[in-house]
């Protein structure tokens, strides 16, 4: 019996319902008799599924646009976004382990319906925006490698549901292995491309230090918010709070504290890896395009075609295409899981994964197909960046509840976030909200 959890139920409006992702809940055993390294290894995995959301195709569009237009200047935004992500994802693990709830379930159990239902709708909009980016990114990857037309590639992306179903049937560890393998491929592709691009490392180091121009220049702020939206993604907060619970950790306070420590290490290491990939995309764009005077490169297809003549090696565009396709496939898996967590958590509505996936993918395919057919590459680039800004605008509606819950002793019990951590989290929440208000004011004022 979960003694710690039962003492905390008084802090919630409704009692805890069904377990998050019930089909894989606590399906991965944590051996209490093994060494610390073995237990840490057993927790490794969820962080990399979360990290995928920090390097999806939408990230590529914003990073390419930022790197080609402003050189290395927006590396500071990528670093700041990643630090924010590390804090917020650690709170997701804390919420899950302390309360036994994912973020969607927590919102349902803490707020009245007139609050939780709009939060559900906003979460679904964020997932659709994420899915649009994945559809476009995967379609462009298929086009770059195999020459498949974008319009057909958009339709082919609907078939990825079978990959997910097959992996889930084999077990959750296979899902994690699939993700980590593709992440390794992406890392190798970018390592080679960075070596070929030979960036100015002094400029790279200076780029990690922020300047006031990021806030005062509306165009730079727009791209900065796009990077923020592409990095700290709303669906990742729901995702992490669900998949952490696939580990069969103990129910006592010491066991939960150990689980929280290992889960935090897992997500922090994985997000540092994500920062390397994100920074690589921006550095590649700055070194290959900005330094040669090509400051308007935002289309993934255009970037692909320019890499061979600029880097002087025919394999560079192929590596770019392979990495993009891997990103699209990875993001597909994690968005599906996040969608399942959001729908089941907020509405207690269970759908077969393939039905849920096809519904979400159909909603994403329609605008992606329309833009692809009518506007081509230029339109898809603009749509990719727009989806990331939409994600940034949705972010506060996931971040504020998360910070509220983890700062509440009544809800979290002895695993409540320490005051210093809650203070940092509240500052992050306010900064995100403030930047979004600034974006809206700039947009309305033209």
341-360 pLDDT, tens digit each: 898 899 887 777 667 666 76
- Tens of pLDDT, residue by residue over 124-148, are 888 888 777 777 778 888 888 888 8
**298: helix, coil or strand?**
coil
Q: What would you measure as the largest C-alpha separation in the chain, in angstroms? A: 65
Name the burial class of residue 289, with classes exposed (0-12), middle (13-18) and buried (19+) by CB atoms within 10 angstroms of its CB.
buried
How far is it, in rounded angstroms, from Cα 141 to Cα 149? 11
Q: Where are the beta strands (DSSP E) in 188-255?
A: 247-248
Enumerate residues 6+ apart whose C-beta is below 8 A from 356.
336, 339, 340, 343
The answer to whether the CB of 1 falls within 8 A of the CB of 100 is no
CA 60 to CA 65: how far, in whole Å?
8
Tell me what pLDDT residue 310 has.
62
Domain 3-444 has CATH 3.40.1710.10: no
DSSP letter string over 240-263? HHHHGGGEE--SSHHHHHHHHHHH
pLDDT at 350: 72
Tell me how far apart the alpha carbons of residues 36 and 214 are, in angstroms, rounded to a whole number: 43
Q: Which pair of structure tokens corresponds to residue 382?
A: 């603009």
Phi and psi for 156 in degrees, rounded to 5? -60, -30
- Pick the closest to residue 256 from 416, 41, 394 (CA basis): 416
At residue 103, does pLDDT exceed 90?
yes
Asked if 139 and 372 count as a contact pair (C-beta separation under 8 A), the reply is yes
Strand partners, 29: 248
pLDDT in tens, 274-290: 888 888 888 988 888 87
List all residues 6 or more positions away from 212 whose beta carbon is below 8 Å from its beta carbon: none
| pLDDT above 70 (res 5) | no
Q: Two tokens at 326?
A: 């891997």
């Amino acid at each position: 019996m979960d003694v710690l959890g039962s003492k905390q139920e008084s802090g919630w409006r409704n009692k805890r319902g069904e377990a998050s992702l019930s089909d894989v809940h606590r399906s991965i055993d944590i051996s209490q008799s093994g060494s610390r390294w073995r237990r840490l290894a057993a927790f490794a995995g969820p962080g990399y599924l979360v990290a995928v959301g920090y390097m999806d195709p939408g990230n590529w569009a914003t990073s390419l646009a930022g790197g080609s237009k402003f050189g290395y200047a927006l590396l500071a935004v990528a670093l700041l976004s990643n630090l924010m992500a590390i804090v917020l994802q650690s709170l997701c693990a804390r919420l899950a382990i302390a309360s036994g709830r994912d973020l969607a379930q927590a919102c349902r159990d803490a707020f009245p319906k007139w609050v939780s239902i709009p939060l559900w709708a906003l979460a679904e909009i964020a997932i659709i925006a994420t899915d649009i980016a994945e559809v476009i990114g995967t379609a462009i990857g298929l086009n770059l490698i195999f020459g498949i037309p974008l319009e057909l590639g958009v339709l082919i992306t609907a078939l990825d549901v079978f990959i997910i179903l097959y992996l889930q049937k084999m077990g959750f560890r296979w899902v994690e292995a699939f993700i980590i393998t593709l992440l390794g491929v992406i890392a190798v592709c970018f390592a080679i491309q960075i070596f070929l691009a030979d960036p100015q490392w002094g400029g790279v180091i200076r780029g990690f230090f922020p300047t006031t121009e990021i806030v005062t220049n509306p165009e730079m702020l727009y791209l900065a918010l796009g990077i923020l939206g592409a990095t700290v993604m709303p669906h990742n907060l729901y995702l992490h709070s669900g998949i952490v619970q696939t580990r069969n950790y103990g129910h006592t306070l010491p066991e939960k504290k150990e689980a929280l420590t290992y889960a935090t290490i897992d997500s922090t290491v994985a997000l540092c890896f994500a920062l390397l990939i994100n920074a690589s995309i921006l550095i590649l764009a700055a070194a290959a395009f900005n330094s040669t005077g090509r400051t308007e490169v935002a289309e993934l297809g255009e970037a692909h075609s320019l890499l061979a003549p600029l880097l002087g090696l025919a394999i560079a565009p192929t590596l770019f295409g392979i990495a993009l396709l891997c990103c699209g496939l990875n993001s597909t898996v994690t968005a599906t899981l996040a969608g399942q967590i959001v729908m089941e958590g907020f509405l207690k509505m269970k759908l077969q994964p393939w039905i849920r996936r096809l519904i979400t993918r159909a909603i994403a395919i329609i605008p992606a197909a329309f833009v692809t057919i009518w506007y081509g590459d230029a339109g898809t680039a603009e749509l990719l960046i727009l989806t990331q800004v939409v994600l940034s605008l949705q972010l506060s509606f996931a971040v504020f509840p998360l910070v509220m819950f983890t700062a509440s002793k009544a809800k979290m019990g002895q695993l409540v976030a320490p005051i210093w951590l809650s203070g940092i989290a509240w500052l992050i929440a306010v900064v995100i909200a403030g930047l979004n208000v600034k974006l809206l004011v700039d947009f309305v004022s033209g």
